[in-house]
Every structure is written in structure tokens, then in C-alpha cells.
Structure 1
Amino acid sequence: MSDTDIAARVLTAPRRFETRRFDRPVLGADDGLLGVLACGLCGSDVASWRGEKKHDGPVVLGHEVIGRIADLGPAAAALWDVRPGDRVAIEEAVPCMFCALCRSGHQRLCTRSGIRYGYTSTDTAPSLWGGFAPLMYLHPRTQLHRVPDSVSDELATLYIPLSNGLAWMGDSGELRPGERVAIFGAGQHGIASAAAALRLGASEVVVVGTDRDGDRLAVARELGSQVVVAPAEDVEEAVVEVLGGSPDIVMDMTPSVAHPVEASIRLAAVRGRVLWGGMKRGASRPLIDTDLVAQKELTVRGLWARPSWAITAALRWLASEPALGRLCERTYRIDELDNAFVDAAGEGSAPAPLHTAVLMN
């Protein structure tokens, strides 16, 4: 393989990766190339692998990308303020920067550009749009964040769940110091959000899991949260008892199941905030008591990605609090990608890890 021939792991069908080779992109003045060091593997990647999430063709997955600038044009160097060799994290959304969403600071929600790292098909030139490849193309409107030297490549891949937790609790939940928080779901986003709530001043935080989540709930405890495991019919009473009152913020981060959505409305304190981020993907149809939403004057918000400030904050948090590395439970090499997905989907011999990092070397 020549240095102009880039081998990438491409998802070509559900549960099927192939190694395909692509020409090294030819750069202009305002774009660049990233030498990928590590990439996180998250639940949305697993959904793509299972065929639950549709793409417009074969795709190089991976959007939690840490890498070093490999090459860039002069305009890109000036705009991004980086040089070859600088280590950065990328935002997966490539915004248009002209629509009302982008101009109001909500560029993470922009779909006008049609480009998203880890999602865009290899049929769209120059094909290298994901992190499970040694080299990734950097679009001129890519948003980059420097990674602190003290944070390893492996642990730096936690920047997405940690930044989501900070943004969801701070911006979406409008958390005020001293408030109580309940989180349904003991995955990486649930536990990262619990840790973020405590960092932002919550007085009590409880993570609700199942009897299969013992190891994950142990991590939640290590990071300062309380935990609840109870049958569905008893869980609301158990949460209130542990917190010492109704939660001001209730978050649902559970995939596929309806009960936490329904319980969140009943559990939330008067004028509380209810946050929904657990993707159901058609697997369940929650029944919402809209009268209770009105009577309690609840604020209900969906959760999708994070603003840019939160990524910088998450990387600094990682640098200052090494214990957060406990969230990264398993590491694979890129040649072990098939096994990494089997394990992340919970189909391996051990329980699915909280967070998985894939290293290029």
C-alpha cells in the first residue's frame, strides 16, 4: 500500500466491516487531514452496526475522534490556529454556518451541509469521513479542539459523553446548586451526566439501573452518585427515598424502553425539568400524562449533542480529574474492530463496557 492509498474499515452492511482503500485526499487552501490516533465507540455506532440506523451507502464509522494534524492548507492553518502535529478532538457536526441555527449558536443541529463525521457515506468525496481509519479528511468548516498534553489518546475519547453531560445538565437542565437529580440509565452518558451534575453543584444525584448493571453502578458510586436498583413498580418511591425528596431534574438515558420516560413525568418536582435522551428507535411508545406536565408546569426537553464550549470544558475536566478515566473500560486496536463492536453491543463473553476506545496502532 502506497502513502497515497488509505485503508479504512468500512461498514458495508449490518454487522459487516470490509477493509477498503481510498486515495489520499488532495487538499486545497482551506481543508486538512487528520492522522487518527484513537476513536471512541458509542451506542450510535452500535445502532449503525446492527442496521438500526440508516446511511446513504457504505460508511466509515467513528465520530469521537482524537488525532494529530497531518496536513492542512494555509487558510485552514490560519482559521483553525493549528499546525501539523497538533493533537485535537473534532466535533462530528459539520455546520453550514449560514442558517438560523448556526448563526444562533446551535450549529450542532444543522443538517444543511449534509456532512457529519462517522455518518456520511464513502460515496461522498473524498470518502474518509470517519474515525475508524488511519487518516480522516477535515472539511473547511470542521470545528477542532486542542487536547491537553496530560490526557492520553485513549482517555481523551471520553470527551463526547463528558461534554454531553456538562451541556445537558448545565444548559438543557439549567441545574442550580443544591438541586436533586435522578438519571435513568447506567450507560456512559447516564454516568457521565451524573458526574457532571455533581461537578455543577447538585446536592444529591441518583443513577437508576437494573440488576444487570452491577459493575456500571459501582463506577457511578466511585464518581460520587447514589444508585437505585428496584422493580419498575417500586423505582419511583425508591428514588424519592434516596434523594430525600422529588428530583428537580429527571433524565432518561435508557435505550428502547418506555417506563423511564413515563416515570420521569411522575417523579419530577413541581416546576422541574425533564430531559429525554435515550433513543427508543421505534422499540417502544411511551404513554405521557400530559395533564401532569401542565399541572406541575414541567419543562420537557430533548437532548442531542452539545455546544462547542462543553468540549473544551470536558477536556479540561479530564485533565484535572483523572478518576474520570474509570469510564473507559476497554481498549482495542483497529484490527480488532469486529470484536470491539460485538463486545460493545453486549454480545460477547463479558458485559458490554461503559466506554470503548479504539486505537489506530
Structure 2
Amino acid sequence: MNYRTHIVSSLSEIGREAWDALVAAQERPNPFLSFAFLDALHASGSACAESGWQPQFIVLYEGEGDAATLAAALPMYVKMHSYGEYVFDWAWAEAYERNGLDYYPKLLSAIPFTPVTGPRLMAVDARTRAALLEVLVATQQASPVSSTHILYPPEEQAQLLADAGYMLRSGVQFHWLNQGYRDFDAFLATLEQKKRKNIRAERRKVREAGVTMRRVRGVDATDADWRLFNRCYRHTYAAHRSTPYLNLDFFQRIGRDMPANILLVIAERDGAPIAAALVIHSDQVLYGRYWGELEHVPCLHFEAAYYQPLEFCIEQGIAVFEGGAQGEHKMARGFLPTRTWSAHWLAHPAFADAIERFLERENGGIDDYIDELTDRSPFRP
């Protein structure tokens, strides 16, 4: 079939209804692919050309004129740096620089600042997905870029990319699985005795410090709640001498446009808020996202960012809690290792060969690492 191909720099060129309809047609979509989330990133200035994230979405339309429908799309950016990606290629960029070559700009398909697996080659059917992949390959070959990187695709899409000549890279995240627990104590009962004891001790420390927890659904969150969260978020970045990726405008936008997917956890002491966590969820999956504190309390991070969301998952029947990037410490709290994928194409043949050899060694190490972690399960035999 013939498709009309467009490269768009703004989601407004596609429209909310058409974009969200395509997302909903995918297998295992997530809230981060929604028009509301992506538009909030772009409109707030968090991910835009000025911040080194130039949107360059590839879209395919089927039909002509007013009857044309969105058949496929790939969220893609021209990147001028490697910040906010969570699949690290800084060493590759440094190798290019040492050899007098430019690594940037590069092409990146990902959700900015969001290490969550989800569809990247979005299409209405397999034939259209194949056409989208052909357009991607043609685009990267015709563009003055060093490379293309597709981050956190599902495994089946990673294999499609491998068949098209991309090199695959593995990573590890830690996810919690809801086994139909009656309550938090029922979950604790499945853990080894030492792990169970440590979690209870961590939660007790927070209570004994006089801290109370409040969960706020997105539909009930006020502007004051969002301003508080933003203060906590920025304060924690400043404490680590880092610059936050996101801003108040972004948080207010997702609070307004996707409230059903949001839960805020607010910690208070003596009637004053001292910390907050933000998680995003669908009916089936909860995603740990952002955290910040104005005052340090031992173990409060675990309570706000892990134990309160775990209780929420159990109460709401949410099947999976994806804990975000990295964090082997999550295993002691009932999270298990899960493989993630990324796919990479490099234009320079010699660098492509060198990185392919590197990835062969690295992927073998990831296999061994997952085997080792699996042998250290926190659950009772």
C-alpha cells in the first residue's frame, strides 16, 4: 500500500484525537505515550529544541485528503546531548570526539526522561509497522547524524529492529508483581524473614519520627499540591548539585490533562509537608517516577516512593509496579529483575564494528547478572 510520510516537529500537527487513538491500538501502551504527557514535555520547555530535544516524529498516513487516517508513528528526537536517556552512551560520544568526529546530532526514539518500556514502532498492523521501519532506515541514512537509538522498545519490536540491522543492547530494571495479595502484610509474609523484618523496621522509623502519609489522587490534587511537589523535586536536585529536567509548568499540565493516571504521596510532620513522591499509573501498571524532600527523615524515601505505592497497587488490584531505572536495592523490597532493550545503528562502519563487539561482551555480562540476581530472590522458597 502507499502511505504519505510526514516528519512533524509538533504534536499539534497530528492532533490529540488521532494520536491517542493510535496509541490505544497498540499492544501494552502506557500513559507516557499519551498526547497529554508528550505535549506537556514539549509545551513546558522540558523537552524541546532549546533544551536539546528537537521533536522529529515520523508519521505515516493512509488515504487522501480529509479521509486520511494516521496509520503509524515513531516518537523521535534530534538530540544534541545524551542527558535524560538512562541508556548511557557517553563513552561512545567521547570515542568519537577523541577521533575528531561529531557524535551529535543523533536521532533518538524515546520518551524523554522516562525509562519505561513501551511501543516505539506504533502502527495499525504488522504491514504498516514494516513500512514505518523502512521509512526510519531511509531517514537515518539520508540525515547528517552519527547514529539512531531506539530506547526501551518491547522485545518483539527490538527483534524487528535487529532484523533491520540494528544492534541490540540489554539492561535490567526491577519490577514488583502483584500476586493477588490481600493486603501489605500478606505481601510481607511471602518474603524472607530478614527482608520482612527490615521493611517493618523502616516503616516504623518513619512513624516514630512523627511523619504521616497522605495519598492524593490526581483528580483531587490542588495547585498547592503541585507547587509543593515541585518545591520538593527541585530541592532534592539542588541538594545533589544537579539541574532538574522538569518544571512546575510540566507538572501542572499533566495534573490538568491526565489526572486519572496520577497519584501523589505527601509526607507531613507537625502539620507541615516535608516530602512528596509522584507516581503514574494505568489500570494494570504503576510506574515509580519522581521524588523530593524538604527535610531529611531516615527511610522516608522508601515509605513514600515504594511502600505507599505498593499498598496502592494492592488496594487497586494493579498487577505490576515498575520501579524505574537501576536500583538493585529494590530487590530487598520485593522487586525482581526484568530485562530491558534498546536498539542502535551507527553510520560510521569502524565505530559500528567496535560497538558491536562491545555490546556482545556487555550483553553476556547482563545475562550473567540476571542469573545471579535471580538466585538471590527475596522471597521465601
Same fold (TM over 0.5): no
* Structure richer in helix, relative to its length: 2
What's the TM-score bracket when you normalise by the shorter of the two chains? under 0.3
Task: Point out the structure with max Rg over C-alpha.
Answer: 2
